[in-house]
């Protein structure tokens, strides 16, 4: 399968690989996918007092397109508000990385990951306050 240059770039030089403390109240964690399906993505965001994503980290088990989708996503969400980050659509990721149809599910997973991370952040906040 031929990969686009952007996929190869992110795959070979992934941005923001890493792990944050999931227990931290200003960290939101989204883990999506399943090992049996061949991809698992963990996206973590660090949110400041203004509701802006200050930092993002990922780790991904999956094909090159899955790794590239999550790497690109961490770049995109940094500096965005939570609302803005949730607006990111898988089609934008697929377009940017020129993913072939058979790999579009990788971008869907990335969209799910940011949504899950934001949800996790809100849930922890709500629990922390109550």
Partner 1 sequence: MKLPIYMDYSATTPVDPRVAEMMCSFLTPDGTFGNPASRSHQFGWDADDAVEEARRQVASLINANPKEIVWTSGATESDNLAIKGVAHFYSKRGKHLITCKTEHKAVLDTCRQLEREGFEITYLDPEPNGLVDLQKLEAALREDTILVSIMHVNNEIGVIQDVAAIGELTRSRKILFHVDAAQSAGKVPIDMDTMKIDLLSVCAHKIYGPKGIGALYVRRKPRVRLEAQIHGGGHERGMRSGTLASHQIVGMGEAFRIAEEEMAQENARLMTLRSRLWDGLKDMEEVYLNGDLEHRVAGNLNVSFAFVEGESLIMALKDIAVSSGSACTSSSLEPSYVLRALGREDELAHSSIRFTIGRFSTAEEVDYVVDLVRDQVTRLREMSPLWDMFKDGVDLKTVQWAAH
Q: Residues in the site for partner 1, rule: CB under 8 A?
A: 1, 3, 11, 14, 17, 19, 31-42, 59-64, 66-67, 102, 105, 108-109, 112
Q: d(Cα 123, Cα 114) in Å, to the nearest integer?
A: 14
Provide, rounded to whole angstroms, the least separation between the CB of residue 91 and partner 1: 17
37 assigned to active site: yes
Residue 70 burial (10 A CB sphere; 0-12, 13-18, 19+): buried
Burial annotation 2-11 (CB, 10 A radius, 16+ → b, else e): ebbeebebbb
Which residue in 37, 51, 75, 95 is the catalytic one?
A: 37
Which residue from 21, 19, 67 is spatially nearest to 41, judged by alpha carbons? 67
For 92, the 3-state DSSP assignment is helix
63 assigned to active site: no
Q: Which one, 52 or 108, has the nearer CB to partner 1? A: 108
Provide, rounded to whole angstroms, the least separation between the CB of residue 129 and partner 1: 26
For 98, the 3-state DSSP assignment is coil
Q: Where are the beta strands (DSSP E) in the chain?
A: 27-34, 39-47, 53-61
Residue given tokens 């980290």 in the structure block: 57
Provide, rounded to whole angstroms, the least separation between the CB of residue 51 and partner 1: 26
Q: Which one, 6 or 61, has the nearer CB to partner 1? A: 61
Q: Which one, 13 or 130, has the nearer CB to partner 1? A: 13
Q: Which one, 15 or 81, has the nearer CB to partner 1? A: 15
Provide, rounded to whole angstroms, the least separation between the CB of residue 105 and partner 1: 7
Catalytic residues: 37, 106
């Amino acid at each position: 399968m031929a990969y686009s240059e952007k996929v190869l770039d992110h795959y070979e030089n992934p941005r923001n690989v890493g792990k944050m403390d999931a227990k931290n109240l200003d960290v939101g964690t989204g883990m999506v996918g399943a090992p049996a399906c061949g991809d698992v993505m963990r996206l973590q965001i660090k949110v400041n007092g203004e509701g802006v994503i200050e930092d993002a980290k990922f780790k991904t088990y999956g094909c090159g397109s899955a790794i590239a989708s999550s790497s690109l996503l961490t770049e995109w969400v940094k500096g965005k508000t939570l609302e803005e980050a949730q607006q990111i659509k898988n089609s934008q990721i697929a377009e940017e990385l020129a993913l072939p149809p058979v790999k579009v599910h990788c971008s869907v997973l990335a969209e799910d990951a940011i949504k899950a991370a934001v949800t996790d952040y809100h849930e922890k906040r709500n629990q922390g306050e109550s």
